[in-house]
Amino acid sequence: MGYEWPFQDATLSGTVVSMTLSPTTRSTPRRLRERARHDRGELYALLDSVLVCHLGLLLDNFPVVLPTGFGRDGDTLYLHGSSGAASLLAASRQAAICVTVTRLDAVVYARSAFHHSMNYASAVIHGTARAVTDTEEMRHGLQTLVEHLAPGSWEHSRTPTRKELAVTTVLALSLAEASVKVRTGPPADDTADVTAAQAWAGVLPLSTHWGTPVPCPQLPPNTPVPPHIAHRPPSGFPSSERAMTSARTAVAQVHPSQ
């Protein structure tokens, strides 16, 4: 019912994917613990299915939460921005930051106002950000970001110049400490409300799709839309095949012993 999370009962060549998220005091869900997921592959699949994260930090002793783009390579999350951005400078100097992502899958309509809800997948990542100073890793981090936002664009477009790299900050954050929560299914109505049958109840799925590409007015006339844009698959709601590919890569490269 509704969107089925692709890592439910997922297997690789007959072997259950085993990359357990290591709970810590900060990353252990305290409420609705039954929604917690413990497979690291589910964290990877969620991150790969959304484009925006929220960076939480202290800026001038005040809490700030900022939306930003990101990219994932194995167990590392890359963030970037202007070298003059106070938020990134503060993040690179703080002992701890927090990054969150959320994907909304459906609105859950209940028979009572109290039990209305959402089907979603969310992750909270804790850690210490590392400022990337090595030029090659900076390029790799930026390629990871670009390919996450706009797959195929790193090779299609001009790569960053030294001047552009000089005014860019790239942060790396380990995914070692993270938690994932997922809600699926119908409303959890009280028995009395179900019996009364006074209101419709169910799930209204939410899907995301790309529109028709709109060319820049400065493009030469009749410039064709490249295939990586014209045939880009829907954002969010990763297919089981894509999710399993992500898991295979994670198992082989990040946790080769599992």
Q: Say which CATH number the domain at 72 has.
A: 2.30.110.10
How crowded is residue 173: how many other Cβ atoms within 10 Å of its Cβ? 26
Query: Does 138 reside within a domain?
Result: yes
How crowded is residue 44: how many other Cβ atoms within 10 Å of its Cβ? 24
Please report which residue ranges of the chain form alpha helices under DSSP H.
40-49, 86-93, 135-149, 153-156, 162-166, 191-196, 227-230, 240-249
| pLDDT tens-place values along the chain, 258 residues long | 333 433 333 333 332 333 777 667 776 666 666 667 788 899 999 999 999 999 999 998 899 999 999 999 999 999 999 999 999 988 988 879 999 999 999 999 999 999 999 999 999 999 999 999 999 999 999 999 999 999 999 999 999 999 999 999 999 999 999 999 999 999 999 999 999 999 999 999 998 889 999 999 999 999 999 999 999 988 654 443 444 444 444 444 444 444
The region that residue 60 occupies, defined by phi over 0 for left and psi between -120 and 50 for alpha, beta otherwise, is: left
Query: Does 106 reside within a domain?
Result: yes
pTM of the model: 0.80
Question: Which burial class, exposed, middle or buried, applies to 72 when counting CB atoms under 10 A from its CB (0-12, 13-18, 19+)?
Answer: buried
Rg (CA), the chain: 21
Query: Does 5 reside within a domain?
Result: no
The whole-number pLDDT of residue 21 equals: 77
Do 122 and 50 meet the contact criterion of CB atoms below 8 Å apart? Answer: no
The whole-number pLDDT of residue 94 equals: 83
Query: Does 3 reside within a domain?
Result: no
Separation of alpha carbons 67 and 227, rounded Å: 29
The whole-number pLDDT of residue 121 equals: 95
Determine the structural domain holding residue 208 and report its residue range. Answer: 11-254
Query: Does 2 reside within a domain?
Result: no
Query: Does 197 reside within a domain?
Result: yes
What is the count of structural domains for the chain?
1
Query: Does 128 reside within a domain?
Result: yes
The whole-number pLDDT of residue 38 equals: 80
Query: Does 87 reside within a domain?
Result: yes
